[in-house]
Structure 1
Amino acid sequence: MNLCDYDSIRALLGRHGFHFSKSMGQNFLIDPQVPYDIAAASRAGRTCGVLEIGPGIGPLTAELAQRAGKVVSVELDRSLLPVLAETMASYPNVEIVPGDVMKLDLNALATEKFQGLTPIVCANLPYNITTPVLEKLVETPCFQSITVLIQREVARRLCAAQGSSEGGSFSLFLQYYMETELLFEVPREKFLPAPKVTSAVIRCVRREKPAVSVGNEAFFFRCMRGAFLLRRKTLVNSLSSALAEYSKEDIQAAVTECGLSLSVRGEQLTLEDFSRLSSCLLARKS
């Protein structure tokens, strides 16, 4: 069965009485080249166990199954389970796990399902859960790489150069742990139903150690998030709102000590800048 053929998809969904759910962000691929390219980009091989999130009817799942040692696909929509039972019947190395990925213990899942395999992630993510899912995946250290199809604008932000206006606190959070790369775009007409925006594929590879050395990781991230709290304001004003235990004068002094202008905005800082700044601020409380 061609899982990207429009007529085949319609017939398949009709047999199972399936209806698309807007709330779940369901958009199925209708160009076989796209799932092929995504699976290839993941670099999945026989020594890999691949976690997929939201398999839909399984076009990417099938491509991954032909490459990986095992594929575990988490599907929230139970009405898709009989569809997947049909489309994945010929792939013994595919397991469908019903459930909400945000409620699952992914480390435990990977430990149970991928024994002897290197856990990676490859998925066509629903747009409405991109950030929380990526955050959870990054915070599950067993996953060595994450290859996902997401909204193009989000992809550009996540892969933006540090210190550029395109980035944000989550971009820096991601790049602290992972090396990110924007690979290719996917036009809206490659989906059924067609989304309103263009998509893109990014690949994130876990660093052997974080991008910068920090003394207090929790405070480092607090400073980073605080710097973007009032994005149109200066770094000093934004941190003054975020770090109530510091006076504005202390923050100004720390910013100056780091060699930064008092007029600088949070978006202009790199991970190295935030590392120095958080250390300077902590030193003022020691």
Structure 2
Amino acid sequence: MSNSPSLPPLREVIKRHGLTANRALGQNFLFDTQLLDRIAAIPGPLEGEQVFEVGPGPGGLTRALLQAGAEVTAVERDERCLPALDELDACFPNQLKVINADALQIDLKARFSRPFHIISNLPYNVGSALLVKWLSQPTWPPLWKSLTLMFQREVADRIVAAPGSSAYGRLSILAQWRCDAKLAMPVHRSAFTPPPKVMSAVVYLTPREQPPGVNPATLERLTQAAFSQRRKMLRQSLKGLPGALEALDIAAIDPTRRPETVSVEEFVALARQLDEVN
């Protein structure tokens, strides 16, 4: 733990800068310092570690990361929040770099030269898109060492869901074929300002070895097609995907099954066969 400067309460900072959460940007602010410290601690000790944070807002989680000794690169689209983040930068010299940009446009390879963690209370409106982007990169293992991400509880449940459950789907497969994914902690809606209508949860993902011979773009297309009609049999939902029915036959997967019954390993095998037949 680095020697932390004395910081004013976050509520005071927000009031002084006239900040309110912008629902159009998917913002919900967290003020509970103990909760923020617990989130920052999920990936383990951060002293000297590099961290990428998306949507820091006024800097609640950013404070916890900096106080834990992390070197933080934060991307914030909302220009209203930049003065509050500048104050943090002044309190933690050489520990914080703020980028005013859209996180979906950030090239992480260009920003980081050594392995880093991604830790973020993700804006609700871009959380899933960012996760898919980070999970679908062509090269594996990635430069990031772990993902500690806050989602709506419904999305978090989908990421960690097992086959056969109603939450199991495309996100489950894209997360679990390359990563170990677990629900790290639930977060009650009352912890946020303003309180969202739904509960939230933090998901923790760590990369593992990728199954050989699978193109992430193929797996993404396959799961997109399969779960676009999740109540239908695979032979129906996949008939529009060239080579998919032949791949089902080669992979010995019953075409009358519904997609939520097909395991991650079976989808990976199916994607491998799909590339071969095409």
Normalising TM by the smaller chain, what interval?
0.7 to 0.9
Distance in 1 (CA, whole Å) between partners of 2:214 and 2:102 is: 35
**1:1-286 correspondence to structure 2 within 5 Å:** 9=11, 11-92=12-93, 93-111=95-113, 117-139=114-136, 141-207=142-208, 209-210=209-210, 212-241=211-240, 243=241, 245-246=242-243, 251=245, 254-281=247-274
Per-residue deviation at 1:280?
4.3
TM-score by length of 2: 0.87
Deviations 1:160-179 (A, max 9, x none): 12454321112211212211
Per-residue deviation at 1:73?
1.1
TM-score by length of 1: 0.84
Identity %: 34
Distance in 1 (CA, whole Å) between partners of 2:273 and 2:64 is: 50
Per-residue deviation at 1:44?
4.2
Matched-pair contact (CA < 8 Å) for 1:62–1:88: no
Q: Which moved more, 1:66-75 or 1:216-225?
A: 216-225
Distance in 1 (CA, whole Å) between partners of 2:132 and 2:214 is: 22
- Gap change, CA 1:216 and 1:87, over 3 Å in 2: closer
Q: Which moved more, 1:147-156 or 1:269-278?
A: 269-278
Q: What is the identity, as a one-letter code, of the residue corresponding to 1:106? A: L
Provide the aligned length of Structure 1 versus Structure 2: 268
Distance in 1 (CA, whole Å) between partners of 2:189 and 2:214 is: 44
Q: Which runs of 5+ in 1 are unaligned?
A: 112-116
Q: Which runs of 5+ in 2 are unaligned?
A: 1-5
Q: Which has the higher Rg, Structure 1 or Structure 2? A: 1
Runs of 4+ in 1 over 4 A off after TM superposition: 279-285
Distance in 1 (CA, whole Å) between partners of 2:265 and 2:180 is: 15
Q: What is the identity, as a one-letter code, of the residue corresponding to 1:133? A: L
Distance in 2 (CA, whole Å) between partners of 1:161 and 1:134 is: 18
- Gap change, CA 1:68 and 1:176, over 3 Å in 2: farther
Matched-pair contact (CA < 8 Å) for 2:28–2:194: yes
Distance in 2 (CA, whole Å) between partners of 1:95 and 1:129 is: 21
Matched-pair contact (CA < 8 Å) for 1:47–1:118: no
Q: What is the identity, as a one-letter code, of the residue corresponding to 2:105? A: K
